[in-house]
Chain A
Amino acid sequence: AQSVTQLGSHVSVSEGALVLLRCNYSSSVPPYLFWYVQYPNQGLQLLLKYTSAATLVKGINGFEAEFKKSETSFHLTKPSAHMSDAAEYFCAVSDLAGAQKLVFGQGTRLTINP
């Protein structure tokens, strides 16, 4: 069964600093991987996804993530944090051949300090 682990339920960075949100996955088949963002009182919005093309994936709002098969990781980064990035971020996996459901990590709450 697939699973996702997000290291750090809370991450706090200063405005302008590097954002790094960690995600490790477990999958018996090549996975599809997703990062979603949830702003307060809103639904989930896709930031980016990996679907076995380029290993470095660029998303919206300046975020990107790199798929590393050897490390089973898909960490999310942004070079310079903005106050508007404060939100909860979820990593998710969907398998290639089976059900198309998403299996989510526990989420990481990102706080931006002025």
Chain B
Amino acid sequence: DSGVTQTPKHLITATGQRVTLRCSPRSGDLSVYWYQQSLDQGLQFLIQYYNGEERAKGNILERFSAQQFPDLHSELNLSSLELGDSALYFCASNIGGRGDDTQYFGPGTRLTVL
């Protein structure tokens, strides 16, 4: 158990819908990262937050957005869903500030868009 929790574990929805994925980092960690894992794209970095502020952005679609709240949990919002958004979404956390900090991964949320 990494200490990072993600809810829900599974999510099945229809095209055009909007969903919210939630992540609670390890106690004491300030930085949260979101990654998408799909068969065709592999594991891709989406976005990083550090202590409530956006720190870095990857190949995140405009239909996707995220935020980190004062209690440091984070939410990833996916809207106007398409079939291709079906993937495993991981959240990771660490103390933040250094590239050699280990990122601890949650169990993931499996999103299926029908």
- Residues of chain A whose beta carbon lies under 8 Å from any beta carbon of chain B: 32, 34, 36, 42-46, 49, 51, 90, 94-107
Instruction: State whether A95 touches B99 (Cβ < 8 A).
Output: yes
Determine the main DSSP class of A at the interface with B. Answer: loop
Instruction: State whether A43 touches B106 (Cβ < 8 A).
Output: yes
Q: Which residues in B have their C-beta under 8 angstroms from that of A103?
A: 45
Distance in angstroms from B110 CB to nearest chain A CB is 9
**Inter-chain CB contacts under 8 Å: number:** 63
A107–B2 alpha-carbon span in the complex (Å): 21
Instruction: State whether B107 touches A32 (Cβ < 8 A).
Output: no
Instruction: State whether B58 touches A90 (Cβ < 8 A).
Output: no
Please report which residues of chain B, range 7-33, place their CB below 8 angstroms from some CB of chain A when the two chains form the complex: 31, 33
Partner of A43, one of B2, B42, B56: B2
Partner of A102, one of B45, B55, B98, B108: B45
Instruction: State whether A42 touches B107 (Cβ < 8 A).
Output: yes
Q: Which residues in B have their C-beta under 8 angstroms from that of A43?
A: 2, 4, 90, 105-108
Q: Which residues in B have their C-beta under 8 angstroms from that of A99?
A: 48, 55-56
Partner of A44, one of B55, B58, B94, B105: B105
